[in-house]
Amino acid sequence: MENINKIAGPFMEAWAFKIFSIVMENSDNKYQLINIQAQQRLSKADVILQFRKERKVEMGVTAEVDVKATAQVAVNSRKSPNITSYAIIRTAYVLEPDLIFAILSLKHKVYSIKNAETGLMDGIMEVVGYKAYDIKYLGSADIS
C-alpha cells in the first residue's frame, strides 16, 4: 500500500477515459463530445477530446487533457503533481494559438483490508475530488 501513489496515475487516467466515454456515448450530452482518444504514456496529454462546434464551416474543437492524480490522505503523496513541461506547452500554443490544454486534477483515497486467504491487500481506489483548469486561464491563486 505504501507504493499506491506510484500506480495511481494510470488508474486515474483510465477512470477519466471511461467517464469521458460514457459522456460521449450519450448522443444528447450537453458538452457535444463527439470523440475521445487515449494517448501514449509520456505524451503531452493523456486524453484528446473533440467537441462539436456550431460554425459556418462544420469543424470540431479539440482539447488536450493532462490527468493528474493526488492522494487525499497518504503521508508521502504528491501534494502538487508536476504538470507537463512549460516548454512543451508554450511550443504547442505557438504552433496552435487556439489550442485548448486542460489539466484534470483528481484526488483519490484508497481503502484496503488484508485478505485472510491470500495474505494480499484488497483495495478500492475512490475519486473524492476534482478540479479542471484550462491552462490559458490559470490565475496566481491556482498555482502553488
pTM: 0.72
Displacement of CA 109 from its chain's centroid (Å): 16
Does pLDDT of 25 surpass 90? Answer: yes
Residue 134: C-alpha distances to residues 64, 66, 71, 100, 119 (Å): 10, 10, 22, 7, 44
Contact 126, 108 (CB under 8 A): yes
pLDDT digits (tens, 9 = 90+) for 104-141: 888 888 888 888 999 888 888 888 999 888 887 777 77
Q: What is the domain partition of the chain in residue ranges?
A: 4-136
What is residue 55's predicted lDDT score, i.e. its pLDDT?
64
pLDDT digits (tens, 9 = 90+) for 60-104: 788 889 888 887 765 554 555 566 667 778 788 888 878 888 888
What is residue 142's predicted lDDT score, i.e. its pLDDT?
66
